[in-house]
Structure 1
Amino acid sequence: MNLETLATPQFAAAVLAMIAVTGTIFSLVMPLLSRDALKSRMKSVALERDKIRAKERARLQAGQAERKASLRNQPKAQMKSLVDKLNLQEMLADDSTQDRLRMAGYRGSAPLYYFLTARIAIPAILLVIAMLYAFLVMPPKYPLITKLCACLVVAGIGVFVPNLYLKNKIDKRKLAIQRAWPDALDLMLICVESGMSIEEAFRRVADEIGIQSIDLAEELSLTTAELSFLSERRTAYENLAKRTGVDGVKNVMMALVQSERYGTPVGTALRNMAEDTRAQRMQFAEQKAASLPPKLTVPMIMFFLPVLFVVIMGPAVMQIMDTFK
């Protein structure tokens, strides 16, 4: 075979035909020779899921142990004495303060004393720092009244720092519970329809949902304990709704209270609420998607349009400059 034969169109067509036939045979025969790897893959996935579940349960149990220990902890004697002497609990706290602390995940008497102490300690510390900076670092050309006003403004900002921190904690915790609640409600519905009692359903869901949200698992565990010890289930449901502060949880607890009062099946109420919760989650996702264009308007105006103008008008400007030169 010489080079002229290799360069002919007939030889190129034969090579392409051979490649096409080989590929066709390979595509037809390989599925028959390949073994079914579904079982091995499912087995590996199950093993990995068990490892992750064991790890997350261990972390959940450690977190619950720390929280239980924190519930037993009492505030320090000096802090308690300061709060009691200044009567801060009546001046700066009310029933809503304790509820907000519970919504943020802080329970017991110690977090309340810490919060009240922070409300007076942070402004005082910021005032001292501002005064040291104003009278030792700032130039003496500024008048005294200006320095005092600046110090008071800094101290005033310190008054709102504990409330802002608490609000941030509440918002983050509510968001975490809200994201995990639809899945928890579906699991609860499965448990109830399989014949479990509502107490056992809460307990099983608390064990399973800890992988996704430790906060929700903790709340469901507390509700399980309250269902076992309180005289009325209605109180336990209302306490869960109050501790979480999530509208979806409040609606489901209200449905459970009405089911307990009127004797309607719990499974029916949970099924209806699960459908509503899934619909609300879809509406929330649609709202987030619809809010993206307005949010992207300002970044596009600030960053994309100037670059676009430079790219489009740059050559024209350069040509004009060359012409005038």
Structure 2
Amino acid sequence: MTPVLFASLVAGAILIALFGVGVVAILLLRARAESHIRQRLAPEAGGLEAFEDTPSTPLLASMARGGRVMEGIVDTEGESGRLLLQAGWRRADQRVLWYAFQAALPVLLAALVLVFWAFAQVPNKGIMLLLFSFAAIVLAFLLPRWILRGVAASRQRRIKSEVPLFLHLLVLLFEAGLSSRQALASLVREGRGVLPELGLELELLIRQLDAGADIAEALKNLSESVAVEDLSTVLAVLRQVDRYGGEVREPLLEALGVIEERRSLDLRERVNLLSGRMTVVMVMFFFPALLVFVAGPAFLALIRALGEVNVR
């Protein structure tokens, strides 16, 4: 590599890193300006300015606003809001920490790139620096979304595992003569130990009902926010019973049968996939060893016989 080309690559990598840091700084300043404007126009409104009401430092609040602006650039359809609800991060302090992480990640990645440039001793250092700078910019915008989707999916799986027990408890409470609201309130009071994730969602549901919300609308909002198919089936049954009346035990038992059948099919599918993977493992590792063990003696005897024939 010629010195001129190497110097050009190094200069390009440094410019890309400085550009990333500059973009973060501009976003932070823009977020601060928008926050002041919103406070002057509508001090009582929520949103970005709501971060200042949390018990956090001004620096953390500013970073949270910058992270919110970065999220708005990447997420134009509001997916992050749904993922935050599915992850269970509803409190203001949780969201402050998350948005601050989004704002701090580009600075951290830029620092890692500069450390690589200062201390790494590798061939073609300029090309590697250019590639790392590009990867840092991409990861700064995409990595938070990947992390948030993983956390939300993990919590959805935990809620899905709690739905059968939730159904059994509901059937018992309805058989005891409780109404839908009373049964849900009883689960919130006494079932937090056995329904840790679903109990949080039901507690929020009870608060909405105590504030005067319609139970059918509240159940629909819960179904849409959590986005777990099994739970949506149960909540749809509760909405129909609340709207049209009638026996609730039989529909819940039917829903439980559908959920258990669906879980059985999912388990069979996982077993089939696992069997296929184990077949690949056996062919790659077990079959060669078995072939050597079974056919090895015969192969060695054949070689010895051919060697004796050649000697004769």
TM-score normalised by L of structure 2: 0.71
How many Å separate the matches in 1 of 2:56 and 2:254? Answer: 45
SS at match of 1:144: helix
Partner of 1:218: 200
Partner of 1:186: 168
Partner of 2:289: 307
How many Å separate the matches in 1 of 2:248 and 2:175? Answer: 9
- Equivalent residues of 1:123, 1:156 under 8 A apart: no
* Aligned-partner residue type, residue 157 of structure 1: L
Distance change in 2, residues 1:75/1:197 (3 Å): farther
1:157 deviates by 2.8
Higher relative contact order (CA 8 A, sep 6+): 2
Q: Which moved more, 1:203-212 or 1:175-184?
A: 203-212
* Aligned-partner residue type, residue 297 of structure 1: T
Runs of 4 or more off by more than 6 Å in structure 1? none
1:199 maps to which of 181, 187, 205: 181
How many Å separate the matches in 2 of 1:87 and 1:290? Answer: 43
1:278 maps to which of 253, 256, 260: 260
TM-score normalised by L of structure 1: 0.68
Gaps in structure 1 of 5+ consecutive residues: 1-71
Gaps in structure 2 of 5+ consecutive residues: 1-52
Aligned pair 1:120/2:103, yes or no? yes
Q: Over the residues paired in the alignment, what is the CA RMSD in angstroms?
A: 2.7
Q: Which moved more, 1:190-199 or 1:274-283?
A: 274-283
How many Å separate the matches in 2 of 1:87 and 1:269? Answer: 43
1:180 deviates by 1.5
1:309 deviates by 1.4
How many Å separate the matches in 1 of 2:179 and 2:257? Answer: 21
Aligned pair 1:142/2:124, yes or no? yes
Partner of 1:100: 83
How many Å separate the matches in 1 of 2:62 and 2:219? Answer: 36
Aligned pair 1:257/2:276, yes or no? no
How many Å separate the matches in 1 of 2:193 and 2:65? Answer: 41
1:265 deviates by 3.5
- Equivalent residues of 1:124, 1:155 under 8 A apart: no
- Equivalent residues of 1:130, 1:151 under 8 A apart: yes
1:290 maps to which of 272, 278, 298: 272
| Structure with bigger gyration radius | 1
Partner of 2:59: 78
- The alignment of Structure 1 onto Structure 2 pairs a total of residues equal to 253
How many Å separate the matches in 1 of 2:280 and 2:140? Answer: 32
